Amino acid sequence: MGENEDSMSEDSRIGSVSLPIGLFTGYGISLSQKCWVTLFDHPEDDEYDGDLQDDDEEAPRVHFSFNLEVESASPKIVKKTEA
């Protein structure tokens, strides 16, 4: 646990959620998104497995806003040759 989590009492914790990096990869396009995500009771079991394009209805929940920017839609291989 991080420093802030260690000092946070159970009374002050509303819930938690972990967002796997895989939720943000694979789009291949730039994207601005807002969504509601349910908070889980236990930090040990809080991995989000939903779709960030759909709002969760259960409470407690948190409203996320994020921007994904793709630098290049198709990666380019650069071959260096020496003369």
Confidence of residue 80 (pLDDT cuts 50, 70, 90): low
Q: Please state, in angstroms and rounded to a whole number, the distance separating the CA atoms of residues 36 and 60.
A: 10
Residue pLDDT, tens place only, 42-68: 999 999 988 888 999 999 999 989 888
Which among 81, 30, 32, 38 is positioned nearest to 57, based on CA atoms? Answer: 38
CA distance 46 to 48: 6
What are the sequence ranges of the domains in the chain?
15-68
pLDDT at 59: 93
Task: Give 28-39 pLDDT, tens digit per residue.
Answer: 777 788 999 999
C-alpha span between 34 and 63 (Å, rounded) = 7
Is 34:52 a contact under the CB 8 Å cutoff? no
**Structure confidence at residue 61 (pLDDT):** 94
